[in-house]
A and B are shown apart, each in its own frame.
Chain A
Amino acid sequence: DTGVSQNPRHKITKRGQNVTFRCDPISEHNRLYWYRQTLGQGPEFLTYFQNEAQLEKSRLLSDRFSAERPKGSFSTLEIQRTEQGDSAMYLCASSPHLSLNTGELFFGEGSRLTVL
Chain B
Amino acid sequence: EDQVTQSPEALRLQEGESSSLNCSYTVSGLRGLFWYRQDPGKGPEFLFTLYSAGEEKEKERLKATLTKKESFLHITAPKPEDSATYLCAVYNAGNNRKLIWGLGTSLAVNP
Contacts and interface: CB of A to CB of B under 8 A. Distances in A.
A43 B110 CA distance: 27
Contact of A40 (B31, B45, B99, B103): B103
- Of B49, B89, B91, B98, most buried by chain A (CB within 10 Å of CB) is B98
A58 to B, nearest CB: 8
A102 B35 CA distance: 11
Interface stretch (A60-68, A76-84, A103-111): A103-111
Contact of A104 (B4, B42, B46): B46
B25 interface: no
Contacts, number: 69
Contacts of A101: 31-32, 91
Given A93-B43, A101-B31, A103-B46, A48 B98 contact: yes
Contacts of B43: 4, 91-93, 107-110
A85 interface: no
B91 A42 contact: no
A41 interface: yes
B97 A55 contact: yes
B32 A41 contact: no
Interface of A: 4, 33, 40-45, 48, 55-56, 91-93, 99-110, 112
Given A41-B103, A43-B99, 18 more contacts: A33-B98, A40-B103, A42-B87, A42-B104, A44-B101, A48-B97, A93-B43, A100-B32, A102-B32, A103-B34, A103-B46, A103-B99, A104-B34, A107-B43, A107-B44, A109-B41, A109-B42, A110-B42
